Amino acid sequence: MFCKFIVTLALFVASSYGAICGRDIPCLASHAQMTFLGRVVSVEQTNSTYFSAEVQPLCTMHSTVANTKIDDEEFLRTVRIDGFGTHAGGSCNADTGIVGDTNIFFVWVNASTIHGVARRFGLFDPCYGAFQYNDANAQELNNFMATHESTVQTPIGADCPADAGKPATNPDGTPAVVNLEAEDNSSAVFKYTVNVLTFLAAFLALYYM
């Protein structure tokens, strides 16, 4: 019985850990191994639970692990990002974004290039997928890059935006900060409530088995 409880707890923690940031871009960039810009080329969606996307890398924006960035060879082709879908449970739904859009991706490096096999990447957050590189999201990421040191030189890549890493300012010269988390507090609370209730239901089911 105790072993079953431990397994259930481990699954709950694993599905919840990546969601600690919500839609907070600085938090995601701080915890993911790498943050980069890429253009969605295609989506391998065999089902809605777990699928991957083919992405053309454009620019490494931030890294928290030494020597972890998009390689020169990877800029010449597409890369695979795994972990999209609803597999994390609750209200989580990691979307790839629209094919052709330029998006921000927060990822883990799933595998290194060994014996000619291209490495794959996985989403850091199982609840949120691609963040469209629009003005608000770009401003949030640029402000973060301007105040946080990356383990590799950034921005760096084949097609980095001209303003990448440059903080936005108001007309009076003060930093212009957009709080993207504020608009999603209610959904975040709902998501965690669902996760907690799911865990309790699983625990009670195991207890009475």
What is the structure's pLDDT at 119?
87
Rounded-to-integer distance, Cα 208 and Cα 180, Å: 42
Q: Is 133 helix (H, G, I), strand (E, B) or coil?
A: coil
> Which class does domain 6-207 fall in?
mainly beta
What is the structure's pLDDT at 193?
47
Q: Please, what are the averages of pLDDT over each run of 10 residues along the chain (209 residues)?
A: 40 48 92 96 84 95 94 94 88 88 93 67 90 95 95 95 84 54 44 45 47
Half-sphere exposure of 10 (CA within 13 A, CB side): 6
pTM for this one? 0.72
Tokens of 192: 């965690």
Q: Per-domain residue ranges for the chain?
A: 6-207
The residues that bridge with 82 in the sheet, in sequence order, are 122
Question: Are the CB atoms for 116 and 88 separated by under 8 Å?
Answer: no
What is the structure's pLDDT at 172?
60
